[in-house]
Chains A and B, each alone.
Chain A
Amino acid sequence: MRETRLWSLHILVIPIIAVLLGAHFALMHYAPVFYGVSVEEARNFETMIERGKSVAQLVLYILLLAAGLYHGLYGMRGILRELPLTPALAKLVDWGILLFGLFIFALGTYVTWWTFSFKAGG
């Protein structure tokens, strides 16, 4: 793939991260300000499970996960690829980062989906 597309996407996700991270902060860290509940209350298991059942939350966290992972791992790849690597090692870094990213995304998506579809006692 053209490096331009990879780089453009890495820039493009910055505003997406800013908005979604803002929403995450509002939900989790500024709950007393936005929702009138204490931080402890906003973070306890029952509240999180309850909140996790909303489609909006499901979409928000999967998007934030994808955007954050892409931006962070593209930067990590940049740092690693600046090392004096052989072409084979450079390819290994590219594939390693891609597979690691996909694994973390799958794991994060699974947890988010698990929360979304959680049934008490089930």
Chain B
Amino acid sequence: MSDKTTTPREITFRLRRFNPETDSVPHWDSYALNVPDGMTVLEALHQLKAEQEPTLAWRSSCRMGVCGSCGMFINDLPMLACQTQVLHLGTDVVSVAPLPNYENVKDLVPNLEPLIEKHAAIKPFIIHTNSKEIDEPTGEFLQTAEERESISQFTHCIKCGLCLAACPTVATDPLFLGPQALAQAYRYTADNRDCGLHDRLEAIDIFHGPYQCHLAGACSQACPKGVDPAFAIQLLKRTLVLDSIGFGKKKSSLAKVMPLADVVKAIEEFAPPKRTV
């Protein structure tokens, strides 16, 4: 039986440090660490903090690419530290900096407020005309598998903000809504249970909206969840143009309410057979 583990390799970590209380500008510090196969950048940072630099600051939580907290600029590319294995980077020196296009709070911590504000501005929730049904539901809004599939990839966004860090337009125009918010605007607008496009127009049909996208596609390359925000922005443009000439979403295409009894029946139909033993 062959032993697949490799001996740890010494990697130099160049970390961008910044303490707003003592530094006027950021600087780089280097640390050496023996990195075994499979160690992620996040694990390396934890080890560096424990053994060499206890004041090092970053933001992280789930360690499994779900929460989107640990976005960093690793070897000059926006990545999730928890999903990036150090040895897979293939360099002896690994540079880690906070995400660009955001204000730097401390060390590797970016201020993600603009991301959240832009996301909130596009009203990222289902807006339905049937407010009575929303307030006092009698069933569920029906969505077919095909309808769900048409927006599926855009629902995977974890709000990590890597797309905004990668976006060259955000770099030059901080007011640009950015790929995250625009992709989410499309995700909700295209949902067959939603009819809130006109409620979102004030936020998205503006100069700093989808038409500012320069089609670089860097957002789609950076997304750790396989979302294609650049594509969503093009689809959003189509939706807006069709709506502006009177070919918007028809009320008749809106999701119908499926009574609760039918929902239960449908679930029972698809449920696995009850165990007899």
With contact pairs A81-B207, A82-B212 given, residues A4 and B174 touching in the complex (Cβ less than 8 Å): no
With a cutoff of 8 Å between Cβ atoms, the chain B residues found around residue A7 in the complex are 211
B215 at the interface (CB under 8 A from A): no
| Contact surface of A with B, Cβ cutoff 8 Å | 2-5, 7-8, 78, 81-82, 84, 90
How far is B242's CA from A5's CA once the two chains are assembled, in angstroms?
A: 10
Give chain A residues whose Cβ lies under 8 Å from the Cβ of B212: 78, 82
Please measure, in the bound complex, the distance between the C-alpha atom of A8 and the C-alpha atom of B172, giving whole angstroms: 24
Q: A-B contact count, CB below 8 Å?
A: 29
A/B interface sample: 29 pairs, CB < 8 A: A2-B201, A2-B205, A2-B240, A2-B244, A3-B205, A3-B206, A3-B207, A3-B209, A3-B211, A4-B205, A4-B211, A4-B237, A4-B240, A4-B241, A4-B243, A4-B244, A5-B244, A7-B211, A8-B241, A8-B244, A8-B245, A78-B212, A81-B207, A82-B172, A82-B173, A82-B212, A84-B173, A84-B174, A90-B207
Chain B residues closer than 8 Å to A84, beta-carbon distance: 173-174
Q: Which residues of B contact A4 (CB under 8 A)?
A: 205, 211, 237, 240-241, 243-244
Instruction: Tell me, in angstroms, the Cα distance from A10 to B158 when the chains sit together.
Output: 35
Q: Is the interface of A mostly helix, strand, loop or mixed?
A: helix
**B202 CB → nearest A CB, Å:** 10
* Nearest B-chain residue to A5, judged by Cβ: B244
Q: In chain A, what residue has the closest Cβ to B240?
A: A4
User: With a CB–CB cut-off of 8 A, which chain A residues contact B206?
Assistant: 3
A-facing residues in B148-173 (Cβ within 8 Å): 172-173
Bound complex: CA of A3 vs CA of B240, how far in Å? 10
Residues of chain B from 102 to 153 with CB closer than 8 A to chain A in the complex: none
Contact with A along B167-188 (1 / 0, CB 8 A): 0000011100000000000000
Top 5 closest A-B pairs, CB basis? A4-B240, A4-B244, A7-B211, A82-B173, A2-B205
Q: Which residues of A contact B237 (CB under 8 A)?
A: 4
B 228-243 binary contact with A (CB < 8 Å = 1; else 0): 0000000001001101
| Most B Cβ at <10 Å: residue of A2, A7, A8, A84 | A7
- Cα-based distance from A2 to B206 in the complex (angstroms): 7
A90–B206 alpha-carbon span in the complex (Å) = 12
Task: Give the complex CA separation of A2 and B242 in angstroms.
Answer: 13
Q: A3 CA to B205 CA in the complex, in Å? A: 6
Complex Cα distance, B244 from A8, in Å, reads: 9
- A81 to B212 alpha-carbon distance, docked (Å): 10
The distance in angstroms between the C-alpha atoms of A80 and B227, with both chains bound, is: 31
How far, in angstroms, from A3 to B209 measured CA to CA in the complex?
A: 8
Chain A residues in 8 Å Cβ range of B241: 4, 8
User: Which of chain A's residues have a CB closer than 8 A to the CB of B205?
Assistant: 2-4
| Distance in Å: Cβ of B204 to nearest Cβ of chain A | 9
Residues of B within 8 A of A81 (CB): 207
Distance in Å from the Cβ of A47 to the closest Cβ of chain B? 42
